[in-house]
A and B are shown apart, each in its own frame.
Chain A
Amino acid sequence: MFFQRLKFLRQYGIIVVLIVLVIFFSITTSAFLKTENLFNITRQVAMLGISAVGMSFVIITSGIDLSVGSLISLSNILCAKLMVEGGVNPVMAVFITLLMACLVGLVNGAFVNLANIPPLITTLGMMTTLRGISYVLCNGYPIWGFTEKFRVLGQGYVGPIPIPVIIMILIFILGWMFLNKTVYGRYVYGIGGNEEASRLSGINVKNMKYLVYILCSFLTGVAGMIMLSRMNTGQPKVGGGFELEVITAVVLGGVSIFGGQGKLIGVLIGVLILGVLGNGMIIMNISEYWQQVVRGLVLLAAVGFDNLSSRNLKNT
C-alpha cells in the first residue's frame, strides 16, 4: 500500500509540488492568484521554457550544454548590433542571429563528435568563448535604439495571452512531437540509454548529436530574441547563470542526467515550478539571497525524493 502511494507520487510528484506551491502562495499572499500575475509568471518563464526544450533533447542523449547562457548574450548583442549599427531590418536581423545560433550548435556538435571532447568540457569552453565574443562585439557597452515594432516579440499580446507564452507553448508541442512521434525522438532516447547499442543498430549517432546540439542552440537563440525584445537593450551581461537555471528546470522535470529518460511534460512543470517559486517569493518580499537558497533546496529535495522512491520501487 505504502509503495503504491509512492508510485503514484513518483509519477505525479512533480505536479504535486507545483500545486502545493500554488496553494501556498495563494494563501499567504493576495497578489499571487490574480490572472494578470499568472500570465506574468508564464511570460517570465517563457525564455527558460523554450531553451529547456532544447536542453532536454541534449540531456536525454546523455549530453549537456553549458553554453546556452552565453549564447543568449551573444544573440542579444549580435541582433542589436545588426539592427542599430548595421541598419538591418528586424526580421532579417533575427534570421541572421538564429543562423548564428545554429552555427554555435554545429560547433558544439563538431567538438563532441570529431574531437571526442566530453559535452561538459566542450560547452564549458564554448560558454566562455561566446561570452568573450559578446563583450568584444560591443566593447562592454549596451546597445539600444530599436524600432518600435521589434518590441512585439517579447512584449506583445494576442488577446490576453503574451506572445512569448504562445511561442513557448508552440515549441513545447513541437518538441513533444519530435520526441514522441518521430524516429529521431526514438533515436534520442536510444542514444542516451545505450549509445553503442544504438550505433550497432544502424543509427547515425553523430548526425543525431549534431541535430540535438543545433536544436538546443537554435531554441536558445529564439529565447534570446524574446529576451532582447523584452529588455529593449542589447546587454552583454545578460544570460549569466541562465544555463544553470535551464538545467535545473530540466532535471527538476524528471529528465535523467544520465540520459535515456525523461518527458517534456515534466520539464514544463519543472519550468513552471521555478517560475512560481521566483514570483511568489518576490511577492512575499523574500530577499534575493534567500531565494537562491530556496531554489537550490527545492532542486535537491525534488531529485532526492525521486531517486529514493525509484530505489524503493526496485526493491518491491
Chain B
Amino acid sequence: MKKDVILSVRNLIKNYPGVTALDNVSIDFMRGEVHALVGENGAGKSTFIKVLTGAIQADSGEVELEGVVHSGFTPHEALFDLGMAAIYQEFNLVPDLTVAENVFFGKEITRGPFINMKRMSSETEKIVNRLGMKINPRTLVKHLTVAYQQIVEIAKAVSKNVKILIMDEPSAPLTTNEVEHMFELVRALKKEGVTVIYISHRLAEAFELSDRITVFRDGKHIRTMETDKTERRELISLMVGRELGETYPKKRYDSDEVILKVHELCTEELLKNISFELRKGEILGFGGLVGAGRTELARALFGADPTESGEVFLRGRKVHIRNTSHAIGVGIGLIPEDRKRHGILSEMSVKENISFSAYRNINTFGFIRGKEEERISNDFKKKLDIKTPDLNRKVKNLSGGNQQKVVLSKWLATQCEILIFDEPTRGIDVGAKQEIYELIKDLAEEGKGIVLISSELPELLGMCDRIIVMREGEITGSFMRGEATQDKILDLASGE
C-alpha cells in the first residue's frame, strides 16, 4: 500500500493556567499506519487526543486532514465530517441496549418511523466479521466481557467509516489473551486503511504493534521514530529525559519468621482452598490472568469480602478478620487496584487522604491531633516526593502518579506489618514506577511482609522472592526467585 500523509498536525499550542500542555506540536500521520504515542503522565498525550477529537480547542495551530486545513472543530464534526474517533478506557456504551443498537446509536437504520432491527443486526454482523471477530448483535452489551465491549466500541467507530481511530490505553482492561485478539483487530483495521493512533503505557505493545512511535515529553513532541529502528532503552530515556532503565532494585533482607499463614481459605464465589505462608521481609508475588481470583484473595484477607471457610494465622495466632477496620487493627493493609474508585478520596485534601487510615491512632478521645496529622503528611510528602503545592490541595487535582503516592502514603502511615499491593504500578509512568519499586523494596527490608499482585510478568520476576500462580480461584503452582520464567508462569496461569 502506498504510504501518504493523511493527517498533518502543525504547530499546536495549548496553554492552561500555569502549564503549557502542548508546546508547538507538529506530527504527520500516514494512511493505514499504526502510530504509537508514548510519554509519561502529563506529557501532553491526553491533551493532544482531546484536540484531535474536538473535545478542546487548541490556542493556535492547525490540523490538515487529506489536504483540507481545519483550525477548530466540534466533537460532532470530528466524528462525522472528519472521520476521527477515539476509544477511551471507559467505554461510551449503553449497557441495556443490544450490540447492534449500540453500534448504530444516534444514526439508527429505520424503516418509516420504526427501527429496522433486522438490518442493523446484519450490518453489525458484517462489520464485526470484517474485523475477524464474532459477536451476536442481539446480545445486550452488559452481558459482554470487557474485551467484547471494546470490540463493540471499535465496530461503532468502523460503522462510521472512520479514517483515524485513536485508542487510549486499550489494553488496560484486558487479559493477556484478550490483548492478543485486540492486536489482531488493530491489524485488521490497518489493512482496511484506517490509521490507528495507539496510546499505551506498555512499551512492549508499542513495539509489537506500531509502525512508528512518537515520544511526548512536557507537552513537546520529542521525536518520531520508525519502530523497527528503535531501541527500548533509547525510547525510555527519551520519555523521561534522562537515562533510566526499568531495573528492579535488589533487596538485602531475609528471614525465616512466618508472619502470615493462610490455610485452605475459600469464598463462596471463587476461591478454593488457598494456602500459603508469608515471611517477614518477603516479597511474595501473585501471578495469573485477570479473573484468576488474586484481587478476590486480597480483599478476603483484608476483610473487605466475606470468607466461607479457612483459617488465617498472624504470627502463629489464629485470627478471624471481621472487616477492614479490624484488618488494619491487626496490621494488614491493602492498596487497591482501582485507584480512582477505591484508593483516593478525591474531594478531600492531600493531608486528609494521607492521614485517613491513621486517624485511628492520632486522636485523643476522637479529637484529631492536628500537629501530628500535619507532621505525618509532611513526612510522606517529602519521603515519597509527592508533587503538590500544598497539603490542603484536593487530591483530584494531582496527577495519576502523585495520587498513587498519596494512596501509598495512607497505607504506610498505618504502620501495617503486612501490605498487599494490588497492581501498584498500573497506569503509572516509568519514573514513578521506579520509585514505587524502590519503596516496596525498602518496606521489605524494614521487615514488612509484602504481597505483590501484578499482571506484568517482568515486574513479578524482577521484584519477588517467590511467585504463586493462580487460575480460576485456585493456586496452580509456585516458584522461587530464579526458577520462574514468563513462559512457566503463563503455562500455569492459563492451564495449558
A residues near B, CB below 8 A? 177, 181-184, 186-187, 189-190, 193-194, 196-204, 260-261, 316
Contact = CB atoms under 8 A, between A and B. Distances in A.
B342 interface: yes
A201 B324 contact: yes
Interface in B323-357: 323-325, 327-329, 333-334, 336, 341-348, 352, 355-357
A184 to B, nearest CB: 6
A183 B347 contact: no
Given A197-B345, A198-B345, 7 more contacts: A186-B348, A196-B342, A200-B324, A201-B356, A202-B333, A203-B325, A261-B347
Interface stretch (B1-9, B275-283, B362-370): B362-370
A204 B323 contact: yes
Instruction: Classify chain B's interface size.
Output: 20 to 34
Contacts of A203: 324-325, 356-357
A190 B334 contact: no
Given A200-B304, A204-B323, A183 B359 contact: yes
Contacts of A186: 348, 352, 355-356, 359, 368
A80 to B, nearest CB: 35
A181 B367 contact: yes
B441 interface: no
Contact of A199 (B17, B324, B346, B366): B324
A201 B342 CA distance: 9
**Which DSSP category, helix, strand, loop or mixed, fits chain A's interface?**
helix
A186 B483 CA distance: 47
Given A200-B336, A200-B342, A183 B360 contact: yes
Contact of A201 (B347, B367, B368, B410): B410
Contacts of B336: 197, 200
Contact of A200 (B17, B334, B355, B368): B334
A182 B345 contact: no
Given A200-B336, A202-B357, A194 B345 contact: yes
A190 B348 contact: yes
Contacts of B324: 199-204
Contacts of B171: none
A88 to B, nearest CB: 33
B402 interface: no
A60 to B, nearest CB: 11
B325 A194 contact: no
A193 B345 contact: yes
Nearest to B366: A182
B345 A196 contact: no
A181 B370 CA distance: 8
A190 B346 contact: no
29 contacts: A181-B367, A182-B366, A182-B367, A182-B368, A183-B363, A183-B366, A186-B352, A186-B355, A187-B359, A189-B345, A189-B347, A190-B345, A190-B356, A193-B346, A193-B348, A194-B346, A196-B342, A197-B341, A197-B344, A197-B345, A198-B345, A200-B302, A200-B304, A201-B324, A201-B345, A202-B328, A203-B325, A204-B323, A261-B347
A198 B356 CA distance: 8
A184 B342 CA distance: 20
A261 B345 CA distance: 12
Contacts of A202: 324-325, 327-329, 333, 357, 360, 414
> Which among A194, A202, A316 has the highest number of chain B CB atoms within 10 Å?
A202
A181 B363 CA distance: 10
Contacts of B328: 202
A16 to B, nearest CB: 24
A183 B368 contact: yes
B341 A194 contact: yes
B409 to A, nearest CB: 12
A21 B246 CA distance: 64
Contacts of A189: 345, 347-348, 352
A112 to B, nearest CB: 16
A200 B334 CA distance: 8
A203 B327 CA distance: 10
B72 to A, nearest CB: 17
A197 B343 contact: yes
Contacts of A187: 359
Contacts of A201: 324, 345, 356-357, 410
Contacts of B368: 181-183, 186
Contacts of B325: 202-204
Interface string B309-323: 000000000000001
A186 B347 CA distance: 12
Nearest to B368: A183
A202 B357 CA distance: 6
Nearest to B324: A202
Contacts of B410: 201
Nearest to B327: A202
Contacts of B367: 177, 181-183
Contacts of B327: 202
A-B CB proximity, top 4 nearest:
A202-B328, A183-B359, A204-B325, A182-B366
A64 B161 CA distance: 48
Nearest to B370: A181
Nearest to B335: A200
A186 B302 CA distance: 22
Interface string B17-55: 100000000000000000000000000000000000000
B357 A193 contact: no
A196 to B, nearest CB: 6
